[in-house]
Structure 1
Amino acid sequence: MTILVTGGAGFIGSNFVLDWFQTSSEPVVNLDALTYAGNRANLASLQADARLSFVHGDICDRALVDSLLATHQPRAIVHFAAESHVDRSIHGPGAFMKTNVDGTFTLLEAARAYWGGLAGDAKAAFRFHHVSTDEVYGSLQPGAPAFTEDHPYEPNSPYSASKAASDHLVRAWHHTYGLPVVTTNCSNNYGPYHFPEKLIPLMIVNALAGKPLPVYGDGQQIRDWLYVGDHCSGIRAVLAGGKLGETYNIGGWNEQANIDIVKIVCGLLDELRPDPAGPYARLITYVTDRPGHDRRYAIDARKIERELGWRPAETFATGIRKTVQWYLANADWVASVQSGAYRDWVSTNYAERA
């Protein structure tokens, strides 16, 4: 028994692989293109583990995917591989269409051919688990009910539009061809190994370097925050017991405004690594908002709790403390991902917002 994980060197994917081996002895084949956010160092602790096979390759490479399926005969594909940063999608949407739309299409077609050749129990047991985002649902008004699985799709960025397209492809391949799929839409993840272009890790690394903490607009954009370890346990629950063709929202029950997140991070750093120059909140800098910035996301995660008994184990207070402590304890990892290309990107994205 084996599972194929796509994007397993990225933030959520690598956390999933690490989590998987804490609870299962089942081997994993990890297919990752190692783009800027993919990092094999995330899985350094498994380097000598024979249960993990790493393959450097692109999900758009049909011949490669076909070969992996034929060779390893996985019982499931867990599909994380995606371009995921809204700001990058605004600057360069093409990569998002290629990976998130074309890549998912390629995987679905390869999975359909592979699944069609299975028989008996192996065919009945096979699953294609598509990992998606709450951003496909658009933006919520203050006080509006949280996103349920039946909420209409209203993507507002090139990123969310590409993920919405991939969700629709997965649904269509189930309804048209019978491919046994499940989809999960998660809220904003945070935790270890998060590439420091997203809000929480960016605030941590900038604060420690004494750099400005850029906050878009008025900082009142609200998100539901999900600790990545909880997301991994939710995915395992859906993979094991989710109904075919169904979507499950995975959320943290933790709505927070961006500016409050930044202040919480500053407070934890003041406690755990005080700066002689003064409180880290002095570095908060409001910058021009990004185009089409969604105002609020919120996940209603009652379906996964009702049907599969899953709830997040972490509160935001416990999860954010673990996250800040991890970054403080792993300065070498942080330094290793802050390459010249990363610095160029940060300069490009934020210089125009000063």
Structure 2
Amino acid sequence: MTILVTGGAGFIGANFVLDWFSQSGETIVNLDKLTYAGNLRSLASLEGNPQHVFVHGDIGDGPLVQRLLAEHRPRAVLNFAAESHVDRSIHGPQAFVETNVVGTFQLLEAVRGYWQGLDEAERSAFRFLHVSTDEVYGSLKAGEPAFTETHQYQPNSPYSASKAASDHLVRSYHHTYGLPVLTTNCSNNYGPLHFPEKLIPLMIVNALAGKPLPVYGDGQQIRDWLYVKDHCSAIRRVLEAGQVGEVYNVGGWNEMPNLDIVHRVCALLDELRPRADGQSYASQISFVADRPGHDRRYAIDARKLERELGWKPAETFETGIRKTVTWYLANQDWVKGVMDGSYRDWVAQQYGAGKV
């Protein structure tokens, strides 16, 4: 038995692949384009494992995907492949449309052709699981109920608009062609192997380097934080028992303002790796101009997933953030390996000006 995972060298995808092999001997064909956030070092522990078949390629390469499907005959395709950083989508939206919209379309077309050629039993058992985001729902006001699976789509950034388009394509392939799809919309993930441009790993990396800890605006943007390994367990459960055509929201039940997150990280670093001068890392916090169209609040209502499939997160934010900070402290070689010139240029461009 085999599954095809796209984007399996990225943050969530790599964590999923590693978790999968910790619990299953089933082969994974791992297709990843290895853009800036795809990192094969994240999968170093799988070197020499014949059950992990890595393929460097693009989901938008229809002939390649068709060949992989015909050769490996997977029972499921899990689509993690995406451009996923809001800030980058503001500065360069074209790549997000190409990967998240056109790439997903090309992947769906290849999968549809493969699925239609299976025998009846294989066709019935096959699944296409699309991993998406809560950002497709837009922004919530204080006191508004959390996003449910029926919440109206109101994407506010090129990134979230491209993911919304991909969600709609996936839905349409089920309703038009009968493709057995599943969609998950998750809240903000955090944990090991996270490329250090997102909030939590950026704070850890900058704090240890003695650099400013840039916080957008007033830092009161609220997110629901989901430990990445909990997300992986939710995806496994949806793949195993989710109802075809359904959407499942995956959240951590941890709504928290960004500034509070930064202070939590600083407090853990003060405990685990104190500064030589005895000061708190919180003294490095620096407020910068807010990004355009910054959504104020996201919150996920994950009760459907718990009610129908029996899933709920294993980690609280307190346990998850401690595991995360501890992982980064213990894996500085991995961090150094991703801190290349292009990444430093990006951080300088994004946070170097506009302090408020």
Q: Which residue of 1 aligns with 2:238?
A: 238
Give the Cα–Cα distance (whole angstroms) in 2 for the partners of residues 307 and 111 of structure 1: 27
Q: How does 1:186-265 map to 2 (within 5 A)?
A: 186-265=186-265
TM-score normalised by L of structure 1 = 1.00
TM-score normalised by L of structure 2 = 0.99
Q: CA deviation at 1:23?
A: 1.0
SS in 2 for 1:34: coil
Describe the superposition over 1:140-165 as per-residue Cα deviations: whole angstroms up to 9, x where unpaired.
00010000000000000000000000
Give the Cα–Cα distance (whole angstroms) in 2 for the partners of residues 350 and 279 of structure 1: 22
Q: Which residue of 1 aligns with 2:55?
A: 55
Q: Which residue of 1 aligns with 2:307?
A: 306
Give the Cα–Cα distance (whole angstroms) in 2 for the partners of residues 238 and 76 of structure 1: 12
Q: How does 1:37-76 map to 2 (within 5 A)?
A: 37-76=37-76
SS in 2 for 1:31: strand
Q: Which residue of 1 aligns with 2:116?
A: 116
Q: CA deviation at 1:48?
A: 1.4
Calculate the aligned-residue CA RMSD, in Å: 0.5
Q: CA deviation at 1:196?
A: 0.2
SS in 2 for 1:3: strand
Q: Which residue of 2 aligns with 1:27?
A: 27
After the TM superposition, which parts of structure 1 deviate over 2 Å for at least 4 consecutive aligned residues? none
Describe the superposition over 1:165-208 as per-residue Cα deviations: whole angstroms up to 9, x where unpaired.
00000000100010000000000000000000000000000000
Residue 332 (1) aligns with residue 333 (2): yes
SS in 2 for 1:147: coil
SS in 2 for 1:35: coil
SS in 1 for 2:71: helix
Give the AA of the match of 1:280: Y
Q: CA deviation at 1:350?
A: 1.0
Paired residue total = 354
Give the Cα–Cα distance (whole angstroms) in 2 for the partners of residues 195 and 253 of structure 1: 23
Give the Cα–Cα distance (whole angstroms) in 1 for the partners of residues 23 and 311 of structure 2: 16
SS in 2 for 1:29: strand
SS in 1 for 2:53: strand
Give the Cα–Cα distance (whole angstroms) in 1 for the partners of residues 287 and 348 of structure 2: 16
Unmatched tracts of structure 2, length 5 or more? none
Q: Which residue of 1 aligns with 2:153?
A: 153
Give the Cα–Cα distance (whole angstroms) in 2 for the partners of residues 117 and 166 of structure 1: 24
Give the Cα–Cα distance (whole angstroms) in 2 for the partners of residues 62 and 352 of structure 1: 42
Q: Which residue of 2 aligns with 1:185?
A: 185
Give the Cα–Cα distance (whole angstroms) in 2 for the partners of residues 351 and 64 of structure 1: 41
Give the AA of the match of 2:341: G
Residue 282 (1) aligns with residue 279 (2): no
Give the Cα–Cα distance (whole angstroms) in 2 for the partners of residues 96 and 348 of structure 1: 19
Give the AA of the match of 2:203: M
Q: Which residue of 1 aligns with 2:134?
A: 134
- Taking only the aligned residue pairs, the percentage that are identical comes to 73
Q: How does 1:263-278 map to 2 (within 5 A)?
A: 263-277=263-277, 278=279
SS in 1 for 2:320: helix
Give the Cα–Cα distance (whole angstroms) in 1 for the partners of residues 323 and 241 of structure 2: 29
Q: CA deviation at 1:352?
A: 3.1
Q: Which residue of 2 aligns with 1:294?
A: 295
SS in 2 for 1:220: coil
Describe the superposition over 1:43-89 as per-residue Cα deviations: whole angstroms up to 9, x where unpaired.
00011111000000011100000000000000000000000000000
SS in 2 for 1:49: coil
Give the AA of the match of 2:284: L
Give the Cα–Cα distance (whole angstroms) in 2 for the partners of residues 230 and 59 of structure 1: 26
Q: How does 1:95-106 map to 2 (within 5 A)?
A: 95-106=95-106
